[in-house]
């Protein structure tokens, strides 16, 4: 067995479903054999691959991530692409619960010239988002949802994107070990019904959006109907978009 096959076997034994792909990522990210061994040991011990190598990819864009920061999921590509379809250059885009800032970066890459503002309660995430958004002129703020935004943005935002935590508290223990052990619980735990943060995002969005602006919230299929109902109660025009291949669901609410 050569070194490549040995690494694949080691990863597979540790429970890595896509062992071949992960081995290739590790090898391509290693500076030398010692670095490869150190990274491989961290991955086998259960750290997310993205934390080990220091990056993830969303919508074809490489995003810096590190320990203590939520790892962008591929399903969030639906959220980014849908947001990008609703904006043009110079429009203001807000990324709430931004984590690494991956969504804001993806939208700014898909639609060059948008003005991106991102918020997160976690200073570690804000530092990561600031690094990722700097090349596209974006800014990240530490604070609770819209409270962190500059007041001048009120009524000017074209799109709010929010990959909120939406796992019900009782289900956190069922998540993969790499998520529950290595990502901040606040990025996963959506409260009793999984919609505690989504509820606040929907309630606050209208004050920040311009006319015909939209708020996009990633949810599960079962949660989408509830989010749509809240949006209607706040005067919005909601619709749900899905992508079966990505296993993704997004509620888009436009305020005329």
Fold of 74-255: Rossmann fold (3.40.50)
User: Sign of dihedral through CA atoms 51, 53, 55, 59?
Assistant: negative
Question: Percent of the chain at pLDDT above 70?
Answer: 98
| 53 membership: H or E segment, kind and range | helix 49-53
Handedness of CA 100, 95, 113, 231 (dihedral sign): positive
Above 50 in pLDDT, residue 1?
no
Buried-state track 84-120, b at ≥16 Cβ within 10 A, e below 16 = bebbeeebbbbbbbbbbbbbbbbbbbbbeebbbbbbb
Task: Let me know if 126 is exposed, middle or buried by CB neighbors in 10 A (0-12, 13-18, 19+).
Answer: buried
* Mean residue pLDDT across the chain: 95
* Arithmetic mean of pLDDT, 12-17: 93
How far apart, in whole angstroms, are the C-alpha atoms of residue 57 and residue 64?
9
Q: What is the pLDDT of residues 132-141, one digit of tens each?
A: 999 999 999 9
> Above 60 in pLDDT, residue 85?
yes
**pLDDT above 80 (res 249):** yes
Residue appearing with tokens 């949006």? 231
Q: Which residues contact 53 (CB under 8 A, 6 or more apart)?
A: 25, 26, 29, 39
Residues 161/213, Cβ–Cβ less than 8 Å: no
Angle 130-254-95 from CA coordinates, rounded to 5°:
10
- This prediction has a pTM of 0.92
CA 195 from chain centre, in angstroms, equals 16
> How far, in Å, CA of 222 to CA of 82, rounded?
20
Structural domain boundaries of the chain?
3-64, 74-255
Instruction: Kindly state the average pLDDT of the residues 78-107.
Output: 98
pLDDT tens track for 200-212: 999 999 999 999 9
Query: Encoding tokens for residue 190?
Result: 């959506």
Confidence band, pLDDT 50/70/90 cuts, at residue 177: confident
- Give the integer Cα–Cα distance in Å for 105 and 254: 22
Residue 245 is classified by DSSP as T
The 10s digit of each residue's pLDDT in 104-128 is 999 999 999 999 999 999 999 999 9
Q: Residue 4: pLDDT above 90?
A: no
């Amino acid at each position: 067995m050569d070194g490549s096959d040995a690494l694949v076997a080691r990863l597979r034994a540790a429970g890595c479903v896509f062992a071949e792909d992960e081995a290739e990522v590790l090898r391509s990210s290693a500076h030398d054999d010692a670095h490869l061994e150190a990274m491989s040991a961290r991955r086998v011990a259960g750290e997310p691959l993205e934390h080990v190598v220091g990056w993830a990819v969303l919508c074809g864009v490489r995003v810096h991530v590190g320990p203590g920061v939520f790892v962008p999921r591929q399903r969030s590509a639906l959220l980014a692409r849908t947001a990008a379809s609703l904006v043009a250059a110079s429009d203001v885009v807000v990324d709430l619960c931004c984590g690494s800032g991956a969504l804001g970066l993806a939208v700014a890459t898909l639609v060059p010239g948008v003005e991106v503002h991102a918020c997160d309660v976690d200073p570690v995430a804000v530092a990561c988002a600031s690094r990722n958004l700097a090349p596209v002129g974006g800014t990240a703020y530490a604070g609770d949802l819209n409270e962190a935004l500059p007041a001048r943005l009120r009524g000017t935002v074209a799109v709010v994107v929010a990959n909120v935590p939406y796992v019900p508290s009782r289900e956190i223990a069922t998540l993969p070990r790499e998520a529950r052990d290595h990502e901040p619980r606040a990025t996963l735990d959506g409260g009793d019904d999984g919609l505690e943060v989504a509820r606040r995002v929907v309630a606050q969005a209208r004050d920040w959006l311009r006319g015909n602006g939209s708020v996009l919230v990633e949810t599960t299929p079962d949660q989408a109907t509830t989010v749509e109902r809240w949006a209607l109660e706040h005067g919005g025009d909601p619709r749900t978009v899905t992508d079966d291949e990505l296993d993704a669901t997004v509620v888009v609410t436009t305020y005329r």
